[in-house]
Amino acid sequence: MTKPVLEVKGLHKSFGALQATKNVSLDLKPNEIHALIGPNGAGKSTLIGQIAGWITPDSGSIYLDGEDVTSETVASRSRKGLGRSFQVSSLAMEVSARRNVMLSVQASQGSSFRFWKQTKSDEELRETARNWLRKVGLSGREDIAVSELSHGERRQVEVACALALAPKALLLDEPMAGLGPTGSIQLTEFLEEIRPEIPILLIEHDMDAVFRLADRITVLVGGAAILSGSVDEIRASALVREAYLGEEA
């Protein structure tokens, strides 16, 4: 029995009469990619919001590496090892890719209440950030403003930011969106590569990528996790076809 890195237990969330999350439980074990799929409006974003810390659940708990983080802030969860990327990249657009990653590196090194030393001449900080960008395949693009990078490159910067915090788990929200076929294949390879080090909870619409990458799939419909199983089980399930694949394919 391997201990799950990330565990969600009995999560509930309602907005008025709308039950956006109904008793959802799922976990993420070491070395695995666990995909979360579901049609539009299934409550994926609300669930992600609760796991990342933007939305407070009505009840239920979230554990990161065995520790209850349900009442921790977003920043605190990031520091404790929950890395994430967004459906629409969320970066400081005006500054360079390197600057974005430097911020994560500085957070991983401790307090940001350092007022005098200039980051511009902090070679260690800059070099560490450059290394993370190299790792995600952005060598030579470090000094370009994020606003001038492509969608795919921004996603790579986000992943570099997440990796710089030495995450225990990654939460990737539709990383393939807007990438195009080549970018999609490259990212798939990259996720394969980091899977042994960092397990990934993957929210994705691209079914090819999901079926190729995922070890386990959980299907979310109407706020509830209706099914969880291996790729083959999900493919074979009539329930899923009806609720999800039928609509899409």
Partner 1 sequence: MQRTDTAPKPVSMPKLSRETIVNIAVMAILLALPLWASSIGEDYYVNLASLITIFAIAGVGLNFAIGQGGMVSFGHAAFFGIGGYTTGIAAFHSFEETLFVAMPFAISGTNQMLIIWIVAMVICGIAALAIGAISLRTEGVYFIMITLAFAQMIYYFAISWPTYGGEDGLSIYLRNQLPMVDAESALTFFLVCFILLLGAIFVSARLSGSRFGAALGTARMNETRLATSGIDPFPIKLTGFVISAMITGLAGALFAELNGFVGPSMLSWHRSGEIMVFVILGGVGRLYGPVIGAALFVLLETYIGEWTQHWQLLLGLALLGVVLFARGGVMGMIAGRARHD
Site residues (vs partner 1, CB under 8 A): 52, 73-76, 78-79, 84, 86, 90-96, 99-100, 102-104, 106-108, 112-120, 143, 145, 161-162, 165
Confirm if 219 and 236 have CB atoms less than 8 A apart. Answer: no
**Strand, helix or coil for residue 41:** coil
The tokens of 227 are what?
């099914």
CA angle 56, 17, 38 (to 5 degrees): 70
85 versus 188: smaller Cβ distance to partner 1:
85
Rounded to a whole number of angstroms, the minimum distance from the CB of residue 190 to partner 1 is 19
76 versus 150: smaller Cβ distance to partner 1:
76
**Strand, helix or coil for residue 55:** coil
Cα gap 187→204, rounded to integer Å: 13
Residue in 231, 238, 240, 222 with CA at minimum distance from that of residue 33 = 231
92 versus 245: smaller Cβ distance to partner 1:
92
Rounded to a whole number of angstroms, the minimum distance from the CB of residue 73 to partner 1 is 6
CA atoms within 13 A on the CB side of 196: 2
55 versus 107: smaller Cβ distance to partner 1:
107
59 versus 73: smaller Cβ distance to partner 1:
73
Rounded to a whole number of angstroms, the minimum distance from the CB of residue 108 to partner 1 is 7
Rounded to a whole number of angstroms, the minimum distance from the CB of residue 212 to partner 1 is 27
91 versus 201: smaller Cβ distance to partner 1:
91
Rounded to a whole number of angstroms, the minimum distance from the CB of residue 182 to partner 1 is 27
Residue in 85, 180, 93 with CA at minimum distance from that of residue 136 = 85
- The pairing of strands 224-229 and 169-173 is unpaired
Rounded to a whole number of angstroms, the minimum distance from the CB of residue 1 to partner 1 is 30
